Amino acid sequence: MHFRRSKHIISIMKKLLAEFIGTFILTLTVYLSADSNGQLLIPTPVLAALALTLFVFILGGISGCHLNPAVTIGLWTLKKIDKSLAIKYIAVQLLAGFIVFLLNRRLDFGTDFYLLAPTDLIFEFLGMIVFTFGISSVVHKTTPEFLSGFIVGGSLLLGIIISILGNGEGILNPAVTLGLGVIRIEYYLLQIVGSVVGFQLYKYLSSEK
């Protein structure tokens, strides 16, 4: 019994570490690209989508590769993760984002993110729905498993593009939002609500009569 418990704890710790590492690198990638003053050869949305695509393949078998508190909450509403583990995931994801925030303030990279207008929030909400709608197809196994990374990464890219074209920021991730220093609570809330809507909408469409 003791051995089983120890093994279970180690398994959870590995999942949390995987979520922390993935979220940290994803957040740092977005921050560094956003701070490039337009000198990057590859735009931020593509970098973010590429990072997430790779991590789905690298970490998917360990933690499920959420790397996003809103995604974890959305999956919890689908009962794909239990409440206790979901809370732990969210904690380490936000911790990773906060560490990136502290790191970049220490390095004084100097990116100042302005307060977002209401229309920006609407398109961030819509982009989040598109993003998690795509993830849900992987969760419900209605798409080929070997394409999971590309579907998740592609869904993120499309969601970001929709948000940006609508004059939003296209962050679509509370942990990354924290890492970038955005402090408006409604921004986080709309990302979470958008995630839940995207997951639940696909669940409704894919369910059998």
* Cα–Cα distance, 127 to 146 (Å, whole number): 24
Q: What letter does residue 143 receive in the DSSP assignment?
A: S
Q: What is the pLDDT of residues 189-208, one digit of tens each?
A: 999 999 999 999 999 999 86
The one-letter code for the residue type at 182 is V
Torsion 137-80-54-30 (CA) sign: positive
Residue indicated by tokens 């997430």: 52
pTM of this structure: 0.89
User: 71: number of CA atoms within 13 Å, CB side?
Assistant: 30
175, 94 Cβ separation under 8 angstroms = yes
- Three-state DSSP at 207 gives coil
Residue 65 main-chain phi, psi, to 5 deg: 55, 65
Q: How far apart are CA 26 and CA 44, in angstroms?
A: 11
pLDDT at residue 12 tops 90: yes
Q: What is the mean pLDDT of residues 48-72?
A: 96
Q: How much of the chain, in percent, has pLDDT values that exceed 90?
A: 67
Contact by Cβ (8 Å): 63, 18: yes
- Tens of pLDDT, residues 73-98: 999 999 999 999 999 999 999 999 99
**Minimum mean pLDDT range among 15-19, 38-42, 117-121, 126-130:** 38-42
Which pLDDT belongs to residue 38?
Answer: 40
DSSP state of 118: H
193 touches 199 (CB < 8 A): no
Compute the CA torsion angle 165, 166, 169, 173 (nearest 10 deg): -100
Q: Which has the closest alpha carbon to 16: 62, 77, 70? A: 62
